[in-house]
Amino acid sequence: MNIKIISVGKLKEKYLIQGINEYTKRLQAYAKIELIEVPDEKAPENLSEAQMRQVKEKEGERILAKIKEQEYVYALAIEGKNPTSETFAKQIDQLGIQGKSHLVFVIGGSLGLSEAVMKRSNAQISFGKMTYPHQLMRLILVEQIYRAFRINAGAPYHK
């Protein structure tokens, strides 16, 4: 399985980088993983709706440029489905069985994802109704992907 995580913005916090590196290392036993950062669009604090849409569209173009046609895309969105770890693991397993071995997970910037990215996605998932910093979501996502592979392997990690 090939997994690509595309996220907006540069990760600077050492503790998050260390955590992501740890789970990325663990994941290598199960899948090839690629982490891609696309630049966030610089914008002032108080944006109009039109300006927010424009920022998301520019970030969306950068994201879409990194996605190939055959890849199965998960968009992380607060309004997406909120699966359990076991359900998420089963989805990943089923995608592999169906021959969809190139998975992409997209984490938007502070304003979220553009409409174009949402339309390109095959599924939208949520990690709850709470809002998390998008940098922290990278660590949470990598851990959950690792957990999914451990569940599918029948390993005790997930308990």
Mean pLDDT, 10 residues at a time, the chain of 159 residues: 96 95 96 96 85 94 97 95 96 96 95 96 94 90 96 82
Name the one residue in this structure whose structure tokens are 């989805």: 91
| DSSP E strands, the chain | 2-8, 32-38, 72-81, 102-107, 123-125
Strand partners, 109: 112
